[in-house]
Chain A
Amino acid sequence: MIDFIRDRPDDLIAWTWAHVWLSVLPIVLGLVIAVPLGWVAARYRWTYPPLTNLAGLLYTIPSLALFVVMPSVIGTKILSPINVVVALTVYTVALLVRVVADALNAISPEVRASATAMGFTGFGRFLRVELPIAVPVIVAGLRVAAVSNVSLVSVAALIGVSQLGSLFTEGFQRNVLGLVLLGIVLCLLLALVLDVLIVAAGRLLTPWQRAVRS
């Protein structure tokens, strides 16, 4: 393990960096796609069961299988990291659609009605009243998605996309337990850092959540 850090620091840095963007980009894309879908599921009640069931179904597809079939679905090269990004975006969307829809549905009818009665347009009401109120719940969903993505990305080492998961494959092939341990520690650290960042962003967006009655 120490040997590896000493001999191949460039690989380690490149893999860590790859792991970061392969996990983060799908979270951002997934959120951007899930918010409007969640809005549709909340706004048009009949779309809620099909949308959330489809999302649940997508989430049950094994990640390795999704990585493998992705090129034939979207026409990318087998080794392209885009396969990983798209696959993980699908997982993120699958996870967040229900979260966003439930968060919007949980807003009190009085708040919704008063926003309408004040004269917000439909979109203005969503952007300035409903979405901000839904932030704490969406943040909770994002934390799950982020941690899950960090761990799923490592599976992509099996299809030849290098990142921290490559430490697992290489450690296994060379029978060096230390490399596997190093990979686990770095993945954990990365998951922790992402979690802290998401929580911090959530707190910045929701000062009202910490206002205590005095």
Chain B
Amino acid sequence: MIRFDTVTKRYPDGTVAVDGLDLIAPSGRITVFVGPSGCGKTTSLRMINRMIDITSGRIWLDDVDTATVDEPTLRRGIGYVIQNAGLFPHRTIEDNIATVPYLLGWDRRKARARSLELMERVGLSTGFAKRYPAQLSGGQQQRVGVARALAADPPVMLMDEPFSAVDPVVRSELQDEFLRLQSELGKTIVFVTHDIDEAVKLGDQIAVLRVGGVLAQLATPDELLTDPVDDFVAGFVGRDRGYRALAFSSAALTPTDEPTVSLGDDARAVAAVAQHGWALALDGDHRPIGWVRAAALTDGKVVGPDLLHRGGTVAPASGTLRELLDASLSAPSGRGVLVDESGAFVGTVTAAEVATVIDDELAERRESGGNRRGEYGGHGAGGSIGGPE
């Protein structure tokens, strides 16, 4: 657990970067600091490992006041991942990862063995061990950055916009990988980003900061989207927050089974099963491969790859309302395709069916008092998922 106790940072010129910050980052959870430029999110992060001095207030790591620990010792016990990875260009990948173990005096062989173990853990080929950072892509470097932060197995990790300098596809991969790692490791993580979507995706709780370093709202992602406390938070969270909040509800609806076609089927077979002119084609393993328009099978044509429409997204049957709705909205037939864990076809849903579920949820929420804010120890300073200590 990391606890900010009325922490203020005031620079000599009088600028206040962080103003009386009070919050708890619970153990084993991801707390995201998000806000516009100048909101003090990075400053707040760097005060935890004392890269920036606190003007007043205290920061506690469990029951230790960080001000009482000497700086190098404190920092060697806290993992740190920075934007652009910040790898040491003159050290090989394995030696970069082993930085903190070396500082802690591990012997070289043990430290390097640990590096290789971590490379596998973060999804990097151990063939990169003897290479230098400049030989890796941005995404690979960032994985090394995460491995380096984990090297001495610190209970706490600080992450300063770690994924913001890579392209969107790689970023999404890194985020998924990071969540998978965290589910195995259960570190206490403080994560800084300016990207509200990233905050919502990764955070167990989100602290929205406003310019001048004031905490605007501390809430779970779901709460933040459904119940922003003021115009600033609402504006920052964004316009389509209602739609995005659907990502936090899973669907309680039964997919409709429907007959399907296979590659090589002729016009008669397709016409026999098509609904509203469209039939779903599956491969030999019962996995969906695309939609076929019955009217396209003229002149004795059969179902082939050239006739498949692949525009529709596929949602897991246990998916969120957002995934289900997206599948139905993107399918050319208007019927969203659902699959099981192995990717095999389970059934379809229509947007109207998903909307009915959403309507029911909204009705439930109306009756239970409109929001869940009160359950979480307040939306302002001091609240946290785990509740105040």
Q: Chain B interface (Cβ within 8 Å of chain A)?
A: 49, 51, 71-76, 78, 80, 82-92, 99-100, 103, 131-132, 134-136, 145, 148, 158
Query: Once the chains bind, are A211 and B88 in contact (CB under 8 Å)?
Result: no
Return chain A residues, CB-CB under 8 Å to B91.
208
Return chain A residues, CB-CB under 8 Å to B87.
111, 114
Given A129-B88, A133-B88, A133-B89, A214 and B135 touching (CB < 8 A)?
yes
Q: Which 7 A-B pairs have the closest CB atoms?
A: A114-B86, A110-B86, A119-B76, A117-B80, A119-B75, A211-B132, A208-B132
Most buried by A among B92, B132, B148: B132
| Contacts A/B (CB < 8 Å), 23 sampled | A108-B84, A108-B86, A110-B82, A110-B86, A111-B87, A111-B88, A111-B89, A113-B82, A118-B75, A119-B73, A119-B75, A121-B72, A129-B90, A132-B90, A133-B88, A133-B89, A133-B90, A208-B90, A208-B132, A208-B134, A212-B135, A213-B135, A213-B136
Residue of A nearest to B136 (CB): A213
Measured in the bound complex, the distance between the Cα atoms of B135 and A214 in whole Å is 7
Q: Is the interface of A mostly helix, strand, loop or mixed?
A: helix
Kindly provide the distance from the CB of B372 to the nearest chain A CB, expressed in whole angstroms: 37
Query: Once the chains bind, are A118 and B90 in contact (CB under 8 Å)?
Result: no
Interface residues on chain A, number (Cβ under 8 Å): 23
Return chain A residues, CB-CB under 8 Å to B90.
129, 132-133, 135, 206, 208
Query: Once the chains bind, are A110 and B85 in contact (CB under 8 Å)?
Result: yes
Return chain A residues, CB-CB under 8 Å to B136.
213
* A76 on interface, CB distance cutoff 8 Å: no
Q: Which of A103-148 contact B (CB under 8 A)?
A: 108, 110-111, 113-121, 124, 129, 132-133, 135
Kindly provide the distance from the CB of B250 to the nearest chain A CB, expressed in whole angstroms: 38
Query: Once the chains bind, are A119 and B134 in contact (CB under 8 Å)?
Result: no
Return chain B residues, CB-CB under 8 Å to A115.
88
Complex partner residue of A117 from B82, B83, B92, B132, CB under 8 angstroms: B82
Measured in the bound complex, the distance between the Cα atoms of B141 and A108 in whole Å is 15
Kindly provide the distance from the CB of A19 to the nearest chain B CB, expressed in whole angstroms: 35
Measured in the bound complex, the distance between the Cα atoms of B80 and A52 in whole Å is 35
Measured in the bound complex, the distance between the Cα atoms of B234 and A126 in whole Å is 45
Return chain A residues, CB-CB under 8 Å to B135.
211-214
Query: Once the chains bind, are A120 and B82 in contact (CB under 8 Å)?
Result: no
Return chain A residues, CB-CB under 8 Å to B131.
211
Query: Once the chains bind, are A111 and B134 in contact (CB under 8 Å)?
Result: no
Measured in the bound complex, the distance between the Cα atoms of B157 and A118 in whole Å is 11
Kindly provide the distance from the CB of A211 to the nearest chain B CB, expressed in whole angstroms: 4
Kindly provide the distance from the CB of A115 to the nearest chain B CB, expressed in whole angstroms: 7
Kindly provide the distance from the CB of A66 to the nearest chain B CB, expressed in whole angstroms: 37
Query: Once the chains bind, are A118 and B82 in contact (CB under 8 Å)?
Result: no
Measured in the bound complex, the distance between the Cα atoms of B8 and A92 in whole Å is 47
Return chain B residues, CB-CB under 8 Å to A108.
84, 86
Kindly provide the distance from the CB of B152 to the nearest chain A CB, expressed in whole angstroms: 9
Return chain B residues, CB-CB under 8 Å to A120.
72, 103
Query: Once the chains bind, are A118 and B99 in contact (CB under 8 Å)?
Result: yes
Further contacts, 7 of them, CB under 8 A, given A110-B83, A116-B51, A208-B90: A110-B85, A111-B88, A113-B86, A118-B76, A119-B72, A119-B103, A208-B134
Given A111-B87, A206-B90, A208-B90, A118 and B80 touching (CB < 8 A)?
yes
Return chain B residues, CB-CB under 8 Å to A118.
75-76, 80, 99-100, 103, 148
Kindly provide the distance from the CB of A128 to the nearest chain B CB, expressed in whole angstroms: 9
Query: Once the chains bind, are A116 and B75 in contact (CB under 8 Å)?
Result: yes
Return chain B residues, CB-CB under 8 Å to A114.
80, 82, 85-88, 145
Measured in the bound complex, the distance between the Cα atoms of B92 and A115 in whole Å is 15
Return chain A residues, CB-CB under 8 Å to B51.
113, 116-117
Kindly provide the distance from the CB of B205 to the nearest chain A CB, expressed in whole angstroms: 23
Measured in the bound complex, the distance between the Cα atoms of B148 and A110 in whole Å is 14
Query: Once the chains bind, are B82 and A119 in contact (CB under 8 Å)?
Result: no
Query: Once the chains bind, are B49 and A117 in contact (CB under 8 Å)?
Result: yes
Kindly provide the distance from the CB of A112 to the nearest chain B CB, expressed in whole angstroms: 8
Measured in the bound complex, the distance between the Cα atoms of B87 and A214 in whole Å is 18
Return chain B residues, CB-CB under 8 Å to A208.
89-92, 132, 134
